[in-house]
Amino acid sequence: MSAEIACETSRGGGSTVSGQKPLRLEEGTIEELVGICDGMLAKLDRRIMEASELGDVSGFGGFESAQQLAEGYRRKGVDGPDSVRHRLVQFRDAVEEMRTAFAAGGEAYGDQESAVMQQIATISRGFTS
């Protein structure tokens, strides 16, 4: 299966979706991209399961301050909106959207590329805050 995606090259060397210039993918490229996404999804699924264990914190002692510290680590691991587990789930969702777009034959890729890149940028910014 081959696909044509409308895009144009920006001055920075990247491509932006515009509907002006078709990008042709060679035979087998879409299937290869879907396979890469499948591999990434499998790895992310494993990491999400492993990250779920980050909530099992112990050894901080019985003092109130120690319990608060343990709770803070648990939130950073699994419960908070900026937790490791939550960020991994967000990345998984973005990869799943890309896989769906590729599996649709690439037509949806042009539309999804911008939305997914914005989603990944938002997730990444959360790591620096």
For residue range 81-114, what is the model confidence (pLDDT) as tens digits? 889 999 999 999 999 998 998 888 766 565 556 6
CA atoms of 40 and 36, how far apart (whole Å)? 6
Start-end of H helices in the chain: 29-52, 64-74, 84-103, 109-128
pTM, two decimal places = 0.65
Q: Which residues pair with 15 in a beta bridge?
A: 9
CA atoms of 106 and 110, how far apart (whole Å)? 8
pLDDT per residue over 35-87, tens digit each? 999 999 999 999 999 999 998 888 888 899 999 999 998 889 998 888 999 99
In one-letter notation, the amino acid at residue 93 is D
Give residues with Cβ within 8 angstroms of 1, minimum separation 6.
27, 30, 31, 105
| 113 neighbors 6 (Cβ within 8 angstroms) | no
Q: Nearest-CA neighbor of 54 among 29, 28, 85, 25?
A: 85
What DSSP state is assigned to residue 105? T
